């Protein structure tokens, strides 16, 4: 098989793989190869660098001029491509356009990283599909032979695309009208939704359906479909009434941060809202420790969400009830409480008196 046939086979094998499956490391390497100024392709009016690639993606001239302002035009271009429908943002098309630009060197140098990320993405998709097909996934009371629950009206773009109800690891609260917050959320989605952490985020204004009651949908998703909420804080956060509502609603579900449901992410040094004063933030504004924060945020999102003590503490106070053997509830509660909560008193550990031992030993040697 010659080189051309091998590339065509590679393209066909990845036609259905979404471009967002590629990790940041792979995108950075593609950027390192496409960012430098290229040369004019013979018999063509395009250059074989990121600018020519942007033309193949039907980017307008103002959009291309805007890409030049970024540190890596290629990485920003790939991110913007994932938000479009045409041409379809797939890994197969990524390789196809590189081949059209005669950049076989980029395909060869990045092939191993691309295949690694695609393999991991397919494994994750398979595990999610198997989990959803399990009828006990959403209702543990169902057995394997029970009929799955009927499908509800979709509330987000992913639910429409996947044709089933979606659950998320984290709801992102931010102000979309603030450029600093919007850029950070784009970076956040690329990292946390990538193969390294493989989290599923609900990002308002990206995942909302058009024409829905925005506040009602936000409240329903925060309460019923998201384990945690990450709030992006900067001085422009308070300018968004929608973000303010989402934060207060999420905090109301767990007052006093008993469940650690809200995760403050501070991207600009500021005074945090009063309701978050007692919650440890992730200070992304500190450049020196910024690279430590992503693992912290991902671990917090993945950590177990403990129930509020008020929802599982017993109704009866075991210390103040009388043992009524006619009441089976009280009898069992009394027995379990005594068995698990009463322990024998520990004897204090005796600390030897060193001076007394020395004196005793000295008297013994002197014959006293």
From the list 56, 148, 143, the residue with the least C-alpha distance to 93 is 56
pLDDT of residue 95: 94
pLDDT of residue 203: 92
- Is the per-residue pLDDT at 309 higher than 80? no
**Residues 269 and 245 reside in one and the same domain:** yes
Task: Of 55-59, 222-226, 264-268, 362-366, give the lowest mean pLDDT range.
Answer: 362-366
Strand partners, 47: 40
Full domain range(s) for residue 87: 3-133
The answer to whether residue 160 sits within a structural domain is no
**Residues 237 and 318 reside in one and the same domain:** no
- Residues of the chain with pLDDT > 90, as a percent, come to 36
- Is the per-residue pLDDT at 173 higher than 50? yes
pLDDT of residue 110: 93
The answer to whether residue 295 sits within a structural domain is yes
**Residues 126 and 214 reside in one and the same domain:** no
The answer to whether residue 353 sits within a structural domain is no
**Residues 107 and 83 reside in one and the same domain:** yes
| pLDDT tens-digit readout, 241-257 | 899 999 988 888 766 44
**Residues 260 and 220 reside in one and the same domain:** yes
The answer to whether residue 219 sits within a structural domain is yes
**Residues 319 and 294 reside in one and the same domain:** no
Strand partners, 170: 201, 228
pLDDT of residue 217: 86
**Residues 314 and 293 reside in one and the same domain:** no
| pLDDT tens-digit readout, 193-206 | 988 898 999 998 88
Confidence class of residue 312 from pLDDT cuts 50, 70 and 90?
very low
Of 275, 302, 329, which residue is a domain's last? 302
The answer to whether residue 155 sits within a structural domain is no
Strands 282-283 and 262-266: parallel
**Residues 32 and 80 reside in one and the same domain:** yes
- Is the per-residue pLDDT at 151 higher than 90? no
| pLDDT tens-digit readout, 64-83 | 999 999 999 999 999 999 88
Per-residue pLDDT, averaged over 100-124, amounts to 91
Q: Please tell me which residue, 323 or 26, carries the higher pLDDT value.
A: 26
Of 83, 114, 133, which residue is a domain's last? 133
d(CA 29, CA 121): 19
**Residues 8 and 100 reside in one and the same domain:** yes
**Residues 240 and 296 reside in one and the same domain:** yes
The answer to whether residue 158 sits within a structural domain is no
| pLDDT tens-digit readout, 38-66 | 999 887 788 999 999 999 999 999 999 99
Supply the CATH number for residue 253's domain: 3.40.50.10140
Supply the CATH number for residue 31's domain: 1.10.533.10
pLDDT of residue 368: 58
Provide the terminal-to-terminal Cα distance of the chain, rounded to the nearest Å: 102
- Is the per-residue pLDDT at 287 higher than 90? no
The answer to whether residue 291 sits within a structural domain is yes
Per-residue pLDDT, averaged over 22-30, amounts to 91
Task: Of 92-96, 178-182, 204-208, give the lowest mean pLDDT range.
Answer: 204-208
Q: Print the SS3 string covering the chain.
A: CCHHHHHHHHHHHCCCCEHHHCCHHHHHHHHHHHCCCCCECCCCCCECCHHHHHHHCCCCHHHHHHHCCCCCHHHHHHHHHCCCCCCCCEHHHHHHHHHHCCCHHHHHHHHHHHHHHHHHHHHHHHHHHHHHHCCCCCCCCCCCCCCCCCCCCCCEHHHHHHCCCCCEEEEEECCCCCHHHHHHHHHHHHHHCCCCCCCCEECCCCCECCCCCHHHHHHHHHHHCEEEEEEEECCCHHHCHHHHHHHHHHHHHCHHHCCCCEEEEECCCCCCCHHHCCCCCEECCCHHHHHHHHHHHHHHHHCCCCCCHHHHCCCCCCCCCCCCCCCHHHHHHHHHHHHHHCCCCCCCCCCCCHHHHHHHHHHHHHCC
Of 280, 302, 324, which residue is a domain's last? 302
The answer to whether residue 330 sits within a structural domain is yes
Confidence class of residue 136 from pLDDT cuts 50, 70 and 90?
low
d(CA 184, CA 355): 66
Q: 154: which residues sit within 8 A by CB, 6+ positions away? A: 160, 165, 209
**Residues 127 and 18 reside in one and the same domain:** yes
Per-residue pLDDT, averaged over 338-357, amounts to 59
- Is the per-residue pLDDT at 144 higher than 50? no
**Residues 316 and 274 reside in one and the same domain:** no
Count of domains in the chain? 3
């Amino acid at each position: 098989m010659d080189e051309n046939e091998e590339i065509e086979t590679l393209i066909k094998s990845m036609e259905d793989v979404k471009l967002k499956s590629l990790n940041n490391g792979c995108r950075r390497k593609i950027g390192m190869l496409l960012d430098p100024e290229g040369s004019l392709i013979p018999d063509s009016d395009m250059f074989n660098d990121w600018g020519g690639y942007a033309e193949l993606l039907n980017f307008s001239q103002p959009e291309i001029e805007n890409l030049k302002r970024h540190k890596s035009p290629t990485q920003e271009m790939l991110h913007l491509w994932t938000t479009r429908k045409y041409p379809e943002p797939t890994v197969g098309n990524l390789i196809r356009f590189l081949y059209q630009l005669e950049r076989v060197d980029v395909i060869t140098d990045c092939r191993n990283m691309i295949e690694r990320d695609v393999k991991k993405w397919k494994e994750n998709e398979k595990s999610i599909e198997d989990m959803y097909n399990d009828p006990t996934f959403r209702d543990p009371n169902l057995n394997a032979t029970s009929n799955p629950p009927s499908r509800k009206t979709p509330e987000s773009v992913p639910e429409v695309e996947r044709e089933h109800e979606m659950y998320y690891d984290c709801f992102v609260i931010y102000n979309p009208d603030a450029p600093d917050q919007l850029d950070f959320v784009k970076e956040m989605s690329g990292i946390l939704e990538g193969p390294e952490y493989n989290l599923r985020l609900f990002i308002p204004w990206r995942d909302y359906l058009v024409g829905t009651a925005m506040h009602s949908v936000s409240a329903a998703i925060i309460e019923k479909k998201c384990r945690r909420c990450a709030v992006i804080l900067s001085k422009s956060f308070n300018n968004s009434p929608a973000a303010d509502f989402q934060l207060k609603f999420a905090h109301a579900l767990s007052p006093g941060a008993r469940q650690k449901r809200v995760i403050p992410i501070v991207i600009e040094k500021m005074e945090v809202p009063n309701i978050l004063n007692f919650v440890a933030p992730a200070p992304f504004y500190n450049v020196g420790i910024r690279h430590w924060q992503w693992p912290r945020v991902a671990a917090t999102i993945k950590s177990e969400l403990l129930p509020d003590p008020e929802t599982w503490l017993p109704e009866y106070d075991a210390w103040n009830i009388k043992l009524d053997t006619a009441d089976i509830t009280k009898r069992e509660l009394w027995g379990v409480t005594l068995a698990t909560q009463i322990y024998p008193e520990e004897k204090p550990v005796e600390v030897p008196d060193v001076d007394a031992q020395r004196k005793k030993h000295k008297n013994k040697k002197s014959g006293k």
